[in-house]
Structure 1
Amino acid sequence: MGKRALERRLSAVADFADPQVELEQYATPADLAAHLVHLADVHHDVAGRTVLDLGTGTGMLAIGAATRSPRRVVGLDRDGTAIEQARENESHVAPETPIEWVVGDATRAPLCRKNLRAKSVDSAESTELTESASSVTVLMNPPFGAQTGNQHADRAFLETTSAIADVSYSIHNEGSLDFVEAFAEDAAADVTHAFRAELPLSRQFEFQREERKVIDVEVFRIEWR
């Protein structure tokens, strides 16, 4: 399945029913998600690997990854309502690999390479990720930290990623290149790819004055050691 076919398939993913501004819940568009998943697939970062979508929201990236023969896909978000929406979206797209949906804070949950434990929406049992399971790829569209009191929110997501991933693909606000490269250097990691993209935002909150606005974002592939 090519990138355009994946984009068409992901167009069935519904947006947030009741987005929370404090969590910066903006949906990842199908075209950008398809591009990220396709790029990860080209670099052999999905098939046969464990893929973790941090701050999965409506599940767009997790669902996209689940169409590309991963060993396992986990979508994690602190908002249980969003996880319910993601679960519904999975049923509409019907990816080949089932997705494990987990309620947990990506910046606080006890996530590490040897042990990922968080309580799921519909089960009291925990989900566990062991190092022997497979290599770990993180796909994420973290909050940019645009809201007052939430500055540098994406840094916390990168800190979690650095502890658990072999490679990651992440979307950040425009002008993040220096920050991401400096973070990666401090973590002895390598930014192997960086490119610009566009993120369309529909009016969801009262402070937004335009019905639709397109913002520039930057996407990074990082190899962690």
Structure 2
Amino acid sequence: MATVRLKRIEHDLEGLKSFTNPDVRLEQYQTPARFAAELLHYIDITDGIAGKTVLDLGCGCGILGFGCVRLAAAKVVGVDIDDSALSIAIENKEDVGLDDDTIFFLNNDVINIEKSDFSHSDMVIMNPPFGTKKQPKVDEKFVVKALELADIVYSVHKSSTRHHWGTIAEQWKEKLGWNIKVQTCIAGQRFTIPRMYKFHKKQEQEVLVDLMRFCHQ
């Protein structure tokens, strides 16, 4: 039954429109439908998505948010700085026949949003920028902002940074007074990126990524 459900979610997500002109400065890559379905299924059986209010920070074209709706989230809010990506997300919303009571999108810099911008949020589910030379440590900034907004955060990161997050959590404890539990939920998943930018030499690039869970204790 779980396999059938995964296939249905993957099928629904495959039909969504993706970036037409991705911005390398924002590290824009579409989350593969299969990967999105698998991580959302894991989150659903672990913490439950049904009936929850979910934030997707750096939502791009909205694939994770639409997956949450498919899993019966009560409300989903996607936030992204790129208005062209949000235009595609809105097209996707119209194509699948959803309204603003279920999912809506906010055009803003994730780093600038505040908890007061939302009436309530149960969890954040996101695939943030990985933090390359163009945006050093932006992945850490996304996680910090997410933990300001919700008690539970699920986030996708390069597997190569896995052991670094424990050190960062210790820094948060000293600087912010946060006691954060960090878990690697899905390790070493292959994230396939099609050839999108001029510097890509292959038709497909593969990056190993982890689904991490951050939780206030």
Q: Same fold (TM over 0.5)?
A: yes
Deviations 1:72-105 (A, max 9, x none): 1101000001001011122334469721111011
Higher helix proportion (structure 1 or 2)? 2
* Contact kept? 1:53, 1:61, Cα under 8 Å: yes
1:204 partner amino acid: M
- Note the C-alpha offset of 1:210: 1.0
Report the counterpart of residue 54 of structure 1 in structure 2.
Answer: 57
SS of the residue 2:109 aligns to: coil
In structure 2, the gaps of 5 or more residues are 173-177
Question: Does residue 1:104 correspond to 2:118, yes or no?
Answer: no
How many residue pairs were aligned? 206
Deviations 1:87-129 (A, max 9, x none): 11223344697211110111122x22xx11xxxxxxxxxxxx2
- Alignment map for 1:161-172 (pairs within 5 Å): 161-172=146-157
- Alignment map for 1:1-225 (pairs within 5 Å): 2-94=5-97, 98-109=102-113, 111-112=114-115, 115-116=116-117, 129-130=118-119, 133=120, 135-146=121-132, 148-185=133-170, 186=172, 187-194=178-185, 195-225=187-217
C-alpha root-mean-square deviation of aligned residues, in Å? 1.8
2:214 partner amino acid: I
SS of the residue 1:47 aligns to: coil
* Contact kept? 2:162, 2:184, Cα under 8 Å: no
* Contact kept? 2:79, 2:108, Cα under 8 Å: yes
Report the counterpart of residue 120 of structure 1 in structure 2.
Answer: none
CA distance in 2, matches of 1:15, 1:59: 9
In structure 1, the gaps of 5 or more residues are 117-128
